[in-house]
Copies of this chain bind each other. A is one copy, B any other.
Amino acid sequence: MNILAFGEVMLRFTVADRMMLEQSDQLTMSTVGTGVNLLSSLAHFGYETSMLTVLPDNPIGKKAAADVRKLGISDKNILYRGKNLGSFFVELGQGARPQRVTYQDRLSSSFCLMNADDYDFEKALIGVDMVHICGIALSLNRQTRKAALHLAEVAHERHKTVCFDFNYRMSLNEDNNHETMKKRYQKILPFVDIAFGSRRDLTDLLDYQVDDETKLYQKFCQDYQINFFAGSKRNFIDNRKYFEGFLFHHDKIYRSAAKELNILDRIGSGDAFASGILTGLIEKWDFEDILEFAIANSVLAQASMNDSPIFSKADVFHYIDTDGKNDLIR
- A264 part of interface (Cβ distance < 8 Å): yes
Q: Cβ of A72 and Cβ of B83 under 8 Å apart?
A: no
In the complex, identify which listed stretch (A84-92, A188-196, A244-252) lies at the interface while the others stay far away.
A84-92
Known: A22-B59, A70-B70. Contact between A83 and B103, CB under 8 A? yes
Q: Cβ of B266 and Cβ of A100 under 8 Å apart?
A: no
Task: Please tell me how many copies of the chain the complex holds.
Answer: 6
Tell which of B23, B234, B305 touches A305, judged by Cβ atoms closer than 8 Å.
Answer: B23
Scan A259-285; emit 1 where CB is below 8 A from any B CB, else 0.
111111011000000000000000000
Q: Cβ of B94 and Cβ of A262 under 8 Å apart?
A: yes
Q: Cβ of B328 and Cβ of A266 under 8 Å apart?
A: yes
Q: Cβ of B267 and Cβ of A328 under 8 Å apart?
A: yes
Residue on B nearest A322 in the bound complex, by CB: B98
How many A residues, CB 8 Å from partner? 80
Scan A100-122; emit 1 where CB is below 8 A from any B CB, else 0.
11111101100000000000000
Q: Which of A18, A105, A318, A325 has the most CB of B within 10 A?
A: A105
Tell which of B25, B88, B97 touches A24, judged by Cβ atoms closer than 8 Å.
Answer: B25
- Closest chain-B Cβ to A205's Cβ sits at a distance in Å of 18
Q: Write out the residue numbers on chain B whose beta carbons fall within 8 Å of the beta carbon of A91.
A: 59
Question: Which residues between 40 and 64 of chain A lie within 8 Å of chain B, taking CB atoms?
Answer: 58-60, 62-63
Question: Which residues between 7 and 25 of chain A lie within 8 Å of chain B, taking CB atoms?
Answer: 13, 16-25
Residue on B nearest A89 in the bound complex, by CB: B60
Q: Can you sample 18 A-B contacts with CB below 8 Å? A: A13-B29, A18-B304, A19-B304, A20-B59, A23-B304, A25-B25, A27-B27, A27-B28, A60-B102, A87-B104, A95-B299, A96-B319, A97-B304, A98-B327, A105-B105, A234-B327, A241-B327, A266-B328
List 10 other contacts, CB 8 Å, given A66-B71, A93-B327, A97-B319: A21-B63, A22-B66, A26-B27, A84-B105, A93-B303, A96-B262, A96-B303, A98-B327, A98-B328, A105-B108
Q: Hey, which bits of chain A sit against chain B, CB under 8 A? A: 13, 16-30, 58-60, 62-63, 66-67, 69-72, 83-85, 87-89, 91, 93-105, 107-108, 169, 171, 234, 236, 239, 241, 259-264, 266-267, 299-300, 303-306, 310, 318-319, 322, 324-330
